[in-house]
Structure 1
Amino acid sequence: MAPRGGDGLLSYIPRTLLMRGRLKLVALAALALASVARPALAQSILRDAETEAFMADMSAPLVKAAGMQPRNVQIMVINNPEINAFVAGGQYVWVHSGLLAQADNVNQVQGVVAHELGHIEGGHIVRFGEGIKEATGVTLLSLVLGAAAIAAGGAEAGLGIMGLGQQAAMSRFLAFSRGQESSADLAGARYLSAAGISGKGSLEFFKKLQNQEYRLAIPQDNSYGRTHPLSGERISVLREVYTVDPAWEKSIDPQLEARFERIKAKLIGFVSEPTQTLQKYPESDQSIPAHYARAYAWHKSAYPQRALYEADALLAAAPNDPYFLELKGQILLESGRPKDAVAPLREAVRITNQPLISVLLAHALIATEDEANFAEAEQVLRLAVQRDRENPFAWYQLGVVYERRGDTPRAALATAERYAMMGQHPMALRSADAAMQGLQQGTVDYLRAQDIAMTSRAAIEQQRKKR
């Protein structure tokens, strides 16, 4: 499991907090379901308009129950086949694609999200340092006492003190981590109850984790030496809480479940090998999720006509579904037919006004190489970055439009935005300085370029001092 900050539902060794605050996007492929590289996590984020809308709607009652504002909390998907989720600073929950692929229903995902919200509401990322500090104190004390014993002539005793100190420090830290996990479990149970959502999915998911522990031969007698309580221990505690809750027998919202099956199939089609997808969703399966999954499988296999057949089957069932329109536009665009892609993408944007789809429409407009489309592309992109600034591909496309129009200063500013977002501070500084050379002082664009230049210089200086 790649190292990362924050909590994971399933882990066996202490984790180092890699980052605090919001992670920055690094690169965005021009896909409706897009993979965004994250070197810090050795993984990538999967950004998709439909998935993000589903995650927001699915989690909104839980977020409110946790005392937070839904607009401030984001549930993002990491491209990782393992069954896991974690928080790493800010009000962000990171869910592995493997968790969504393996979840049997939306209720199981809600149970996971409720647990992770418990970490956010409890401030566990901030308090993570407290556990490290306390453990470090024990370690330092043991080193001092051990050194004193060695100096007094008791080398063996001194080394023993040091070793015991290290063991005590690790035990102290693990106990601290397990306490946070238990707290998040109970907090998640409260959120589910307050939202009127059954805890059955939460228990079912912990049973999945328990089965994984069995396969990995994890001892089930006690939690000593682990960052998390054993899944069996968690199940026992939570069962007592969930089964007496009024929401225990409440059924899953069928509309929400149908949306989950769609995004699950879509995700599997995007991340899995096409042969695996086609085995899981054979041609005999004519359901909406199956058409969705096969469309991505055929598209990945470079069979555009078969992919379009599946997309058209979806549109036959729901002609005005914006995400089916988006899919058809994506297939056409990436098959070298940008002119044909414009109409379905334009309609999808009209229906949803979703920034990610807007960027795809702008890409298609620019790819037509028809200058008559550039004004629309610019308008679409400017609106998109107003609603979702952290999309490097949007800034790249906006820079292309400005460059084609001969507006070099604003092309440089868009490039500076992109590099700043990617953490490439020297390139961001260079582009911001170039933008300021051509922009009128005091304007909004000039001040933005100035801000990027200042923050980039500060970041470069900070990196220089660390060397």
Structure 2
Amino acid sequence: MRPPRSLFAKVLALLACAAFVVQPVAAQSILRDAETEELLNDMAAPLVEASELEPGNVELVLINDGSINAFVAGGQAIYVHAGLINAADTANEVQGVLAHELGHITAGHVIRFNERTKAANGITILSLLLGVGAALAGAGDAAMGAIMAGQQAALGSFLSYNRDQEASTDLAGARYLSGAGISGRGMISFFEKLRNYEIRRGYSQADEAAYMRTHPLSGDRVQTLRNLLMEDPAWKAPDDPALQERFLRAKAKLYGYLAEPRRTLTYFPPSDTSIPARYARAYAYHKEARVDLALAETDALLAAEPDNPFFLELKGQVLLESGRPLEALDPLRRATELTRAHPLIAGIFGHALIATEDKSNYPEAERVLRAAVARDRYNPFAWYQLGVVYAERGDIPRARLASAEQLVMNRRYPEALQNAQAAEASLPYGSPDWIRAQDVALEARAELERLRDRR
């Protein structure tokens, strides 16, 4: 009988799929949307203040993943899966999750996770050495026992630590909700959702030995938190109706963008004339190239709220992506003005100006795009469009710098390094762009060296 292949590695893989745990981001794609990012930041703001973290240092990132999950991974960034937004019924539920994740950040669990992984691996290596020694002495069964015992010890130590982390983070999240004056009802209801999901999937942690669980039992967590949160003065605090309406809109928008159009139109039938439903259907119709129906929905949205920048952005996007860039300029220009040149909206506006193929629009496109990347350097789409403008006017060094910026964000490090070095060689010595070309080249080179060291 062969021993189980790296039991500890299997559990690490399991942890990467569990709710509210640390996991890498490299294999997943990030969704950028001005309205949704603004909503997430506003939902988190009072919780960040209650946690005594610096507001500007906490980043909220939306991940294109349908699973119900949120996690922290390095620094002070909280990653929220699209599936979690879809599963939540209220903004208050999402705030409960964000409060929990802030607890991971304030406790430094990302760093400690790596430390515990190294410690557990140390136990397995020691058991492997003992096993090899026993095998060389001719005691095959003893060797197998030593190796498996070491794996079990490492696994038990690691999972015990993880359960303690999750339990303490639950309590920290409850404190932050209380400090922000936000009801903990959402935290409780979301944990109950997770428990019901486990039951529907036919999975019960109660069937496992205690030492094999990655998290405390959902039922135990709910009961502990309920007893604590119901005593808090904020328990009966009403939900913020404006925040809830914004959440329902963003949720519907996300659903319409990600789901198959037929599913969207089933879930949001034409008989539903609410703003969230129109939002979702506009994306569904646009994905099916039913431009007139998509524009009818956006026009209905604008009839209700003529100065809503996100409705204007949507109309401009539909027109632009349907091959009508000239018509897209007015709504996108207005959306850019209303949001004071939000980088993501300004990026789309700059793209529309370029897509008209009218050279007289290029100076405005350059101004808009330069302002966009100045406020948000992590915007590869805007960098690409800016590179197009530079190339069109014959400014090849800055076109190559813009390409380097885009390429390094897309992890195409060899090409980023090549473009950054070419830009640096041709840009005015000591200029801001020359310095930036050096920075991008250093970043690309460092990443290439890091990747080589891993091999």
TM-score (norm 1): 0.90
Structure 2 counterpart of 1:35:
none
The 3 A distance-change label for structure 1 pair 431 and 151 is closer
Structure 2 counterpart of 1:132:
117
Paired amino acid for 2:65: N
Is the contact between residue 387 and residue 403 of structure 2 (CA under 8 Å) also seen in structure 1?
Answer: yes
Report the alpha carbon displacement of residue 69 of structure 1 after superposing the two structures with TM. 2.1
1:443 paired to 2:443: no
Report the alpha carbon displacement of residue 380 of structure 1 after superposing the two structures with TM. 0.4
- In the TM superposition, what whole-angstrom CA distance separates every residue of 1:377-425 from its partner, at most 9, and x where no partner exists? 0000011001110011111000000111111111111111111222212
Paired amino acid for 2:30: I
1:364 paired to 2:352: yes
Structure 1: segments with no counterpart, 5+ residues: 24-39
CA distance in structure 1 between the partners assigned to 2:451 and 2:119 by the alignment: 29
1:63 paired to 2:48: yes
Among 364, 368, 371, the residue aligned to 1:380: 368
- In the TM superposition, what whole-angstrom CA distance separates every residue of 1:156-208 from its partner, at most 9, and x where no partner exists? 22321221121111111111111111111111101000001111111110111
Report the alpha carbon displacement of residue 215 of structure 1 after superposing the two structures with TM. 2.1
Among 175, 199, 204, the residue aligned to 1:214: 199
CA distance in structure 2 between the partners assigned to 1:458 and 1:120 by the alignment: 26
Is the contact between residue 338 and residue 364 of structure 1 (CA under 8 Å) also seen in structure 2?
Answer: yes
SS in 2 for 1:224: helix
Structure 2 counterpart of 1:235:
222
Structure 2 counterpart of 1:10:
19
Structure 2 counterpart of 1:160:
145
Paired amino acid for 2:403: T
1:416 paired to 2:397: no
Paired amino acid for 2:187: S
CA distance in structure 1 between the partners assigned to 2:75 and 2:454 by the alignment: 25
Paired amino acid for 1:346: R
The root-mean-square deviation of aligned C-alpha atoms, in Å, is 2.0
Among 227, 238, 243, the residue aligned to 1:256: 243
Runs (4+) off by over 6 Å: 3-8
The farther-off stretch of 211-220 and 320-329 is 211-220
Is the contact between residue 10 and residue 228 of structure 1 (CA under 8 Å) also seen in structure 2?
Answer: no
CA distance in structure 2 between the partners assigned to 1:329 and 1:216 by the alignment: 42
Is the contact between residue 205 and residue 213 of structure 2 (CA under 8 Å) also seen in structure 1?
Answer: no
Structure 2 counterpart of 1:310:
297
SS in 1 for 2:233: coil
- In the TM superposition, what whole-angstrom CA distance separates every residue of 1:34-89 from its partner, at most 9, and x where no partner exists? xxxxxx22x32111000001111111001111111222212221111111111111
Structure 2 counterpart of 1:31:
none
SS in 1 for 2:148: helix
CA distance in structure 2 between the partners assigned to 1:466 and 1:259 by the alignment: 44
Paired amino acid for 1:315: L
Identity of aligned residues (%): 55
Report the alpha carbon displacement of residue 150 of structure 1 after superposing the two structures with TM. 3.6
SS in 1 for 2:420: helix
Structure 2 counterpart of 1:246:
233
1:50 paired to 2:35: yes
1:146 paired to 2:131: yes
Structure 1 counterpart of 2:268:
281
Q: When you count helix as a share of all residues, which structure comes out higher?
A: 2
Structure 1 counterpart of 2:3:
none
- In the TM superposition, what whole-angstrom CA distance separates every residue of 1:231-252 from its partner, at most 9, and x where no partner exists? 1111111111111111111110
Is the contact between residue 84 and residue 99 of structure 1 (CA under 8 Å) also seen in structure 2?
Answer: yes
- In the TM superposition, what whole-angstrom CA distance separates every residue of 1:109-157 from its partner, at most 9, and x where no partner exists? 1001111111111110010122112222322332333334444443322
Is the contact between residue 7 and residue 88 of structure 1 (CA under 8 Å) also seen in structure 2?
Answer: no
Number of equivalenced pairs: 442
Structure 2 counterpart of 1:336:
323
Structure 2 counterpart of 1:32:
none
The 3 A distance-change label for structure 1 pair 148 and 463 is closer
CA distance in structure 1 between the partners assigned to 2:13 and 2:199 by the alignment: 24
SS in 2 for 1:284: coil
- In the TM superposition, what whole-angstrom CA distance separates every residue of 1:311-338 from its partner, at most 9, and x where no partner exists? 0000000000100110110011011110
CA distance in structure 1 between the partners assigned to 2:423 and 2:447 by the alignment: 19
Paired amino acid for 1:317: A
CA distance in structure 2 between the partners assigned to 1:317 and 1:336 by the alignment: 26
CA distance in structure 1 between the partners assigned to 2:268 and 2:178 by the alignment: 35
Structure 2: segments with no counterpart, 5+ residues: 1-9
Is the contact between residue 298 and residue 307 of structure 1 (CA under 8 Å) also seen in structure 2?
Answer: yes
Is the contact between residue 7 and residue 87 of structure 1 (CA under 8 Å) also seen in structure 2?
Answer: no
Structure 2 counterpart of 1:434:
422
Paired amino acid for 1:389: R
Among 57, 78, 98, the residue aligned to 1:113: 98
